[in-house]
Structure formats: structure tokens, C-alpha cells
Chain A
Amino acid sequence: MLHFTIRRLILAVPTLLFISLVIFLLLDLAPGDPMASIPLTVPPEVKEKMREALGLGEPVHIRFLNWLYQFFVVEPQVAFDHIFGTNFAEGKQRIISFQSRSPVMSVVAERMPQTLWVVGLSYIFATLIAVPIGIISAYRQYSWFDQLGTFVSMVGFSIPTFFSGVLLIVVFSVTLGWFPSIYDTTHEITDWPSFWFQVRQMAMPVFVLTLYNAAQVSRFMRASMLDNLNQDYVRTARAKGLSERVVVLMHVLRNSMIPVVTVIALGVPNIFGGAIITEQVFQVNGLGQMLITAIYASDAPMVQTLTFIFAVLIVLFNLIADIIYGVLDPRIRYD
């Protein structure tokens, strides 16, 4: 297994380099100008000077190599300096956002907490809710619980978050006034009242995302459980006199988890991608909102860096999913 992991990690390097090149070229070829959002009252000569100051005058390959150097050498050094108080990165050019002229990675670090809180928490909730729902729905197929579960997942699946989000705001913020409609990213938890405020401001976005994610996972869980419940080994287990609890939770569940683990593991990178729409609706201003504003502003360094981080996470979580297969099913061996 270790051998397999190392081989996969080494193979990932050229893959990721290739991905970064493709992203870079795509962004370079895409139409759009970082100066387009500047008012027309700023004359074109001035805009040209501003473009030069952003380094847009350099040829493509130089800009790409620069980015690689900054991403793989300078930024890790900055992180290292930050942790150990050294100063390897002093005076070196970091990846700079076109919009704010500040280092992209510090913006990412700034945005991480609210994204992890809201999107991450909703993902954990979704998984914790969806797995039991999927198990019970499959075990008691066509019972009222199954019907209800199916209905709720259909709702969660088919209603887009920009609709459910605004609906919740209209009901709970405008009419009832229970929750704030706009997320306060500067809020710090210091005592119980401030913790309670945090819970209130997270309630709606977390609910919207939980509903959406849980709908997906519970359907997978149910389908996978149904596949296994009719297998011969289940009959054998029952014939051996094992209790229903052991049959379902030890035998069936473990085998059913394999496809579900893939879905869950590959969903994790999406947490870091943020939830573009939900973040926008509730003004959570996490990584998703950052990506979308960067795209609108043609902020190439920021879009490039973010998408590349997602690429890394996707490759990584693919690998993790593969390793978990081996843990769940001893028959799967990669060596």
C-alpha cells in the first residue's frame, strides 16, 4: 500500500504541472481585461501603464515560469517563515492579485475560516445525516420513512441554492427576523452570546448547503445498500444466526460504503472551492465568492492559484478514496 501511495504521488507531479499549464493558457487565451471594470473616465494611456505595472507586458512563457516559481518556491518559503519566524522569502515577489495588489495566498488564508465553518460544517452535517437516512431507507424500502426521505432528497436535489437561500432569507430574516441575512466575517467568538450569534448567522447558509449535500449522499447510500441487501452473503450471514444489527451494520454497510466513500471523498475538495452561489446569497465572502469576483475582474493570478489548489486537492482526495477502498475491502490490494 505504501509503495502504491508513493507511486501515485510521484505520478501526480507531471499531471499537476500539466494541469497548471492548461489552466494558465486557458486564462491567457480567455478574453477579458483586468482594467475593464475601471470607469471610462480613466484614459486609455493610464490603463496601459496600469497593465504594465501588473506585469502583463511580459511574454506568456515568462509569466508562467514566474508563477511556477512563486507558487512552488516563494509561497512555501513564506509559509515556512510564518511558522518558524525565519526570513527566507524576504524581498521575493509573491503571487499578487490584480484586484487588490495583495498576495493571493494571504487572501486565501483570510477566507479559509468562513468557508470551512460554513461549507465544511454543512458537509459534515450532510454526511452524518445522509448515511443513516440512506441505511434506514434501504432497509425499510417503500416504508413511510423511505418515502419521506425520497421526497426530502428530491426537494434538496432539485431546488437550486439561489432559490432556497433567498426563500429562507425572506421567511426567517425579513418576516420573522430570527437570523441575520448578511454574514459578518469580522465576528469573533469570545463568550456565549457571541457564540450564539455565530450559530444564528451560520444557521441559514449551513442549512441550505446541508440539504443540498445530504440529498445527494443519501441517494447514493440507499442505492448502494439496496444492491447489497439482496446478495447471497447477506442470506448466509442471517442463516448463521447473526443479529440483524450485525448483518446490516457490519456486513452490508461496509460493502455498501465503497461507492459512497468515492462520492464523499471527491466532494471534499468542493468544500475548499466554497459554495459560490450560497456564499454570494448570504454574503459569506469565502473562497467561492473570492473565485467568482476574481473571474469577473479577470484577476488571472488569483483564478490560476485557486483553480490549481483545487486541482491538487482533487488529485489528493482521489488517492485518499483509493486507499480507503483498501481499508474497507481487504480484497482490494494495489501492490
Chain B
Amino acid sequence: MKLKTALMGTVLGTVATLSMAPAAFAERGADGHVNIIYYQAPSTMNPYLSGGTKELEAASLVLEPLARYDETGAIVPFLAESVPTVENGGVSEDLTTITWKLKEGLKWSDGSDLTSEDVQFTWEYCTSEGGGCAQSEKYNDVVSVETPDPLTVVVTFGVPKPFPYGPFVGAQAPIIQKAQFADCTGEAMASCTDQNFSPIGTGPFVVDEFKTNDVVSLSANTNYRDPAKPAFATATLKGGGDAQSAARSVLETGEFDYAWNTQVAPDLLEAMVAKGQGQLVSAFGTLVERIMVNMTDPNPALGDERATADHPHPFLSDIAVRKALSMAIDRALLTEIGYGDAGRPTCNVLPAPEIYKSSANDACLTQDIEGAKAVLDEAGWVDSDGDGVREKDGVKLSLLFQSSTNAIRQDFQAIIKQWWEEVGFEVELRNIDASVFFGGDAGSPDTFQKFYADVEMYANNFDGTDPEAYMANWECNQAPRPATQWQGNNMPRFCSEEYDALVAEMAETGDINERAELAKSMNDMLMQEYVIIPLVDRGRLSAHANSLGGVILNTWDSELWNAADWYRIKE
């Protein structure tokens, strides 16, 4: 666990720089008002009721976890004194308990003390029966949360946890106040509207008024632990409109100070930035736009057994065909068209953090149409009847390519279709409304889990910095099938004993370097089998006014994670 020690070093470094900086703006509320715009409006301030990003981020102004991820992906203590590790004795040798120490003297915004009981209650709240807590996965395997004294929290897991930072870490699992939410557990979770709309928190701001799907008015928390922060006395988080109007309000009219997710056509943004009111900030996380290759036969004639492991795909089960699909794609061009500076071509499904990033597959960065043709020729896929489509033993390379409805995805589909047709495939395109495609309704034939198509494109990532659960997505038993009501994350229905063994090994490995090696070899296996064809590593792109200081864009946690440090740059 050398890395964790190294990470702690970064933590201390960051803390040192932050504590030196505020000299110029050392009074709470001295900088007036800050305007933030989210083009998707938050519908609640309780992240446990909604898994949506917009709600998590809005809530992060008010609610805080014990520790957050910083912009490098390192864990930094917020409510906790320090981050427990095996070295400092905070995590037990057998990796089943983690002991958090709270900072002394922490107060809720209503003036009462934050104690370990609040932390314990947060766990009870999210795991209570019938509540439908959106973040219950963060508390997986937790068997007990004990409070030996008001400042100590001991979390015990039922199994060894090499990465014990699920509960109470990150924007997804903040601490809520026991006194406020005591009557809101289980089925009562949803009916506590007042609590859900204005939770009492420990963060830099408190909710003054919450209008659902519209606007949140906030003011500085007078009980915030740092008496000099936040620099802003009040804040508004407005929602609605679209990405372009949000970008415009910061970059062109200057009405707003910060705009979230300003993903607009690169040339439009350039013109807006030229007005000189604000600037763009981007950062990369783990979000990868990818094509999934169906290893099973989606032929409707198979009825209930359609797209299940019983019927291998007629031609995609041949690795040469899959390889040709990947080789024919110009990832750099796709990135330029779709995402500009907010994307970079990638050959890995696990693109970050740095230690997990493999360099074994980088050959895919160059498009190789001729190479793809050669691979197909060699494998016996040739166009014998002269119709421009290759075939072998009566099987034609005819693909159905599906994705969700989204302007950029449809552009990508059209361009990729062209390349594939050049190589000798026949490609039919299809797009499905996102609410159906990602909806997971077992009764619908159009979900991305059912995968009644040959290839499909979408983006996915993972929470936090630990890829263990993410890489376990491609275990055999994760394949969506009738027995699982078509749930599961293994869309390609990839199945390899060797891969499953690596997943099992990772679950038992504590050493960070060994874990990195395991994750890399899993990534390489998926890439070299060409069951997943990664396209673009998509970054986060936001805009802030030139007069807003202290913004550090963070893809590992809430974008507003350090709003306490934001300040107005005086002319």
C-alpha cells in the first residue's frame, strides 16, 4: 500500500497550498453573491433519493462526506481527521474494519454538534428497508457501524475490503443529520419533502429556498468549520435551458459565474470564449464512449433464446471480424468532431487513474482500413458475389448498429458506418430514445441490456477511483439473460474462465500495485479480444467567469467539491 502513503503526501501538499492561498480573501461572506448554472435542474437536495449527477452536485454544497476525492483522484479528509489506512492503523490488517476519526468541534449548520451517531444513522438511513436508497451500493457488505465515542466511527465489513472507501466517501455518500432525518427512514424516505429539499449539512452553504427542477438559493453556513470561508455570502444554483444557453450566460453575457457541463460544438464554444468574459475548464475521468460487440446471436428467429450464450454470434464470434471493426475506426477524427478539447482518443476501457492505464493497446489509435481488409481476407471473409459485402459459408457480414438518440452519437454512427462499409461490412443504423435504451425494462426489446443488435454504442464510467467493481462487469455471470430478468453489465456476453479468475483474485488483493497490474491485464484481455471497442475518453467541460477564482474541476467527485474555496477575483 505504498501508493496510499504517496496519496497522503499529495493530500498534505494540497492542504498546505490551500491554507496559504486565502490570505487575500480571509473573511466569510466578503465576496457577495455567486451564480451557478446547471442546465439540468436538480430535483432534490438529498443524494440518497436520486442517483442523478445534478442532485449529487447540488447537494455537495450543503452535505459533506467524511472524505472526498480531489482533482487527482486522491482521497482527502473532509469531516474526518485523516484518511485511515493499514499503515496508520485505521484499517485493520485483515481489511475488514475501518476506523474513522471525526475532526473535533464540527457543527451542523443549525449549531448542534456532529457526532459519530450521525454517521451511523446515515448508514441505517440508506440501508433501511423499503426506502429505495439510490446509493445503497456504497454500503454493500457493511455489517455494522459502531460508535465507541462521539468522534470515532468503526465500520465493519462482512468480507475483506481491499478498498474500504465506499461508505461515507465521495459525493454519493455524504453524512446527513440524525436529528433531522430520524423519522424519514424506510418507506417514509420519500414523504419527508421538507427534509429532502433543505437538508441540514456541514458544508459551506445552507439552503434558503429550494424550488424543485428550477433553482436553489443558498447562503453561507455560519457554523462552517473554517471561519474565513466561504468567501461568498450567498449563492444561486439555477437550472434549466440547455448546455448552449448555460455556456452563453457565463461566456457571453456574464450573468452567471459557473456553468456545469458546457458540452457544445467545439467551434461555438470557441466563439463564445473569444468574448473574453470567461474561460473553459476541462478534466478527464473514467468516462469512455465505447462500442460493445455482441458475442451472441440476436436473430429474432431464436425466440426466447435470442441474444443468449446458447447461440454464439454467426460472425462476430470470429476474433478476426471484431479486430477488423476496431481497426477501421479513426478515433482521433471522431474525437475532434464530437468532443473537441473535451475528449481524447482511447484504446482502453479503463483509461484512468494513471496507475491503471494500460499502454499495450495503443496501436488502435491509428486507423488502418487496409489492415482491416487484410485481416478479413486472411480469415476467409471475402466478397465472392461482388455486392460489396464480404461473406463466408453463406454468412454475410451484415451488422445492426444501435445506440441511444443523441446528436453526437448519430454523427458517430454515420461516420463509423462509412468506414465499416469501406472494409466490406453492410451496416444498418438504429437509434433508440435514451429513456428506453437505458431504462432496463425487461419487457422492452430495445434496452441496451437485451442487445437485440450486433453492435451498440454508449458511454460508461465508474464512481471514485477504484475499478474493482467496474472490471467485474465482464464476468460470465454478469451477462444479461432471461434468468437475471435481463439485468447485468456484461453487454458483450463475454465469458472467459481466465478473466473470472482475475476478478476473483482482485477481490482478495490488497496491495495497490498488484491491483493495478490485475486491472490492467483484465483491460488488456478485453481489448485484445476486441469484445469492447473503446472510442473516446470523454472529459468534463465546464465554464467559469474570469472573475471567479479557486475553481478546480474535479471529475472524481462533485464539480462543486471545493466551493468553499471559491472567491471573487478583485480587479
Contacts and interface: CB of A to CB of B under 8 A. Distances in A.
Contacts of B239: 285
A190 interface: no
Contacts of A46: 51, 133-137
Interface in B484-528: 487-489
Contacts of B440: 33, 35-36, 44, 47
A83 interface: no
Contacts of A48: 487
Nearest to A289: B240
Interface in A284-313: 285, 289-290, 293, 296-298
Contact of A174 (B242, B248, B438): B248
A285 B240 contact: yes
B435 A177 contact: no
A42 interface: yes
Interface in B241-259: 241-242, 245, 248-249, 252-253, 255-256
B406 interface: no
B227 interface: no
A50 interface: yes
B99 interface: no
A70 interface: no
B196 A36 contact: no
B242 A100 contact: no
A319 interface: no
A318 interface: no
A296 B405 CA distance: 13
Contact of B245 (A36, A101, A181): A181
B333 interface: no
Contacts of A47: 51, 440
A50 B245 CA distance: 33
A99 B134 CA distance: 12
Contacts of B438: 33, 36-37, 40
Given A40-B460, A49-B136, A101-B44, A35 B215 contact: no
B187 interface: yes
A177 B253 CA distance: 7
Interface in B120-135: 130-135
A107 B215 CA distance: 12
A41 to B, nearest CB: 5
B147 interface: no
Interface string B428-459: 00000111111111001010000000000000
Contacts of A11: none
Interface string A51-71: 111100000000000000000
Interface residue range, chain B: 35 or more
Contact of B132 (A31, A52, A289, A290): A52
Contact of A36 (B50, B132, B435): B435
Nearest to B213: A293
A93 B193 CA distance: 12
Contacts of B462: 41
A293 B54 CA distance: 14
Contact of B241 (A50, A93, A283, A298): A283
B217 interface: yes
Given A36-B434, A185-B211, A285-B239, A53 B50 contact: no
Nearest to B130: A53
Contacts of A44: 440, 487-488
A41 B196 CA distance: 22
Given A32-B435, A50-B134, A290-B213, A100 B44 contact: yes
A44 B196 CA distance: 24
Contacts of A99: 43-44, 50, 212-213
B195 to A, nearest CB: 11
B244 to A, nearest CB: 9
Contact of A53 (B131, B135, B197): B131
Contact of B439 (A35, A53, A110): A35
Given A44-B440, A293-B41, A53 B132 contact: yes
Contacts of A289: 213-214, 240
Nearest to A51: B132
B215 A100 contact: no
A31 B134 CA distance: 22
Given A46-B137, A99-B212, A177-B253, A36 B436 contact: yes
A37 B213 contact: no
Nearest to B46: A101
Contacts of A186: 209, 211, 215, 217, 236
Nearest to B436: A31
B41 A39 contact: no
Chain B CB within 10 Å, residue with most, of A51, A110, A283: A283
A97 B50 CA distance: 12
Given A46-B137, A185-B214, A280 B51 contact: no
B52 interface: yes
Contact of B255 (A37, A106, A182): A182
A173 interface: yes
Given A31-B444, A49-B132, A96-B190, A39 B212 contact: no
B238 interface: yes
A14 to B, nearest CB: 32
A100 to B, nearest CB: 4
A103 to B, nearest CB: 7
A50 B52 CA distance: 13
B151 interface: no
Contact of B256 (A169, A182, A281): A182
B132 A54 contact: yes
Interface in A95-131: 96-97, 99-103, 106-107, 110-111
Contacts of B211: 110, 185-186, 285
A310 to B, nearest CB: 19
A181 B215 contact: no
Contacts of B146: none
A52 to B, nearest CB: 6
B53 interface: yes
A46 to B, nearest CB: 5
A33 B41 contact: no
A108 B227 CA distance: 39
Contact of B441 (A33, A37, A42, A110): A33
Contacts of B213: 99-100, 107, 285, 289-290, 293
Contacts of B397: none
Contacts of A54: 132, 190
Chain B CB within 10 Å, residue with most, of A35, A37, A100, A283: A100
Interface pairs A-B: 4 shortest CB-CB: A53-B132, A33-B439, A44-B487, A50-B132
Given A50-B133, A102-B44, 12 more contacts: A33-B438, A35-B440, A38-B52, A41-B463, A44-B487, A49-B133, A50-B134, A101-B190, A102-B196, A110-B212, A283-B240, A285-B214
Interface of A: 31-33, 35-54, 93, 96-97, 99-103, 106-107, 110-111, 169, 173-174, 177, 180-182, 184-186, 280-281, 283, 285, 289-290, 293, 296-298
15 contacts: A31-B439, A33-B436, A36-B435, A40-B460, A44-B440, A46-B134, A50-B134, A51-B132, A53-B131, A53-B187, A107-B212, A110-B214, A177-B253, A180-B253, A180-B255
Interface of B: 37, 41, 43-44, 49-53, 130-137, 187, 189-191, 193, 196-197, 209, 211-215, 217, 236, 238-242, 245, 248-249, 252-253, 255-256, 433-441, 444, 446, 460-463, 487-489
